[in-house]
Amino acid sequence: MAKPRVFISSTYFDLKNIRADLERFIKSQGYDPILNERGHIAYGNKEKLEEYCYKEIQTSDILISIIGGRYGSQSKTENQSISNAELKSALEHGKQVYIFIDHAVHNEYKTYERNKDIDGITYASVDDTRIFSFIEDIQSLPINNTIASFETSSEITEYLKEQWAGLFQRLLSENSKQKELIAINEIKSTAKTLNQLVGYLIEERKNGDQAFKEILLANHPAFNQIRELLKIPYRVFFNNLDELNELLKARQYDDVDEEDWDNQEIREWLKVKATPKMLLKISNELFDENLKLRVYTPDTWDKSLIQLSPLGASDAFDDDIPF
């Protein structure tokens, strides 16, 4: 089973006892400690030795940085110590980092902050003021800059116990919520699918209604009735009043002036070249406000909307007109 790999970064000679205590603690937690002095870092011959430390950090899960009073070995690639470069490498690669500063160093850092611009000051807790500069850099980081001071290794291990227990509890809590998250995601997915389906049906309904209207228009009951009444031998079709006028004009039916209509809601056409003269009456209900043909289904059609009668016969606009 995979175990968390914990890299311990610090100077060696002044903190070797702390490092040894941390190694035992990490092993007791079931994790794998990574310490340079134990031969845990595989060195090659193609790069500088410190580069292999940085590569080892990339494969680790956690880095514990311990800052004491010694600056340590100078990096050959960076303007800082190797232990400082290790911490920066871990931060750059998004590793979980815990930073511990010797209590005396941490306290004297506050004095350094007030007097860093004054030359000639020496500090009892550090051998190089660049340690304070590095602490200053750490504290200015936007993330991963939680710092704890220590006097003994047991303070470090107690702090880590609490932190790792908190991480484990958070993991358990997140796992327990996975079912809820899955359910929520399924609901979101279902809602999205339903929204898409509704949109599709609305679009199809629009298209379907238009197609339905076109089918009804092509088989309008008025066409057959006019064709039968006027004895037209070919198929009758019109979309609006203008097209109907053209059709009737071709059948020798002329518009009757509106002022001569018997009813202002019923349009009239007269065929004078016939014996007897024939009067065609069509209700305005056949057209909409734009004078376009209204759609009727066979079950809503009213034959009284179109009437043909010899001139001089009863002008009543009903079904009792004799033919």
Burial class (CB in 10 A: 0-12, 13-18, 19+), 13: exposed
Tokens of 120: 């000639």
The token pair at 163 is 């932190």
Instruction: Round to whole Å and give the CA distance between 118 and 49.
Output: 37
Q: What is the pLDDT of residue 202?
A: 58
Instruction: Identify the burial level of 251 via C-beta atoms within 10 angstroms of its C-beta, where 0-12 means exposed, 13-18 middle and 19 or more buried.
Output: middle
Please state which CATH number belongs to domain 5-176. Answer: 3.40.50.10140
Taking a C-beta distance cutoff of 8 angstroms, is the pair 31, 4 a contact?
Answer: yes
Separation between Cα atoms, residue 91 and residue 83, nearest integer Å: 13
What pairs with residue 3 in β-bridges? Answer: none
| Residue-level pLDDT at 52 | 87
Question: Residue 288: its pLDDT value, please?
Answer: 92
Alpha-carbon distance of 270 to 230, in angstroms, equals 12
Determine if the peptide bond prior to 310 is cis (ω within 30°). Answer: no
Regions of the chain with pLDDT less than 70 = 143-145, 198-212, 312-323
* Amino acid code (one letter) for 127: D
Q: Where are the domains of the chain?
A: 5-176, 177-218, 221-310
The position carrying tokens 């306290």 is: 107
- What residue type is 235 in one-letter code? R
Given a contact cutoff of 8 angstroms between Cβ atoms, the answer to whether 67 and 10 are in contact is yes
pLDDT 10s digits, 143-187? 656 789 999 999 999 999 999 999 888 888 877 777 777 777 778
Alpha helices (runs of H) in the chain, residue ranges in sequence order:
16-28, 49-58, 82-92, 103-115, 130-139, 153-176, 178-218, 221-229, 241-250
Q: Are 79 and 133 in contact (CB under 8 A)?
A: no
Q: Residue 317's pLDDT is what?
A: 43
Mark residue 3 as left, alpha or beta (left: phi above 0; alpha: psi -120 to 50; beta: remaining).
beta
- What residues have CB less than 8 Å from 37, skipping those under 6 apart? 12, 16, 19
Based on the number of CB atoms within 10 Å of its own CB, is 95 exposed (0-12), middle (13-18) or buried (19 or more)?
Answer: middle
Residue-wise pLDDT tens digits, 45-82: 778 888 889 999 999 999 999 999 999 998 888 888 99
Write out the H or E segment, with its range, that includes residue 101: strand 96-102
pTM recorded for the entire structure: 0.54
Give the list of residues 6+ apart from residue 301 with CB closer than 8 angstroms, or none: 221, 222
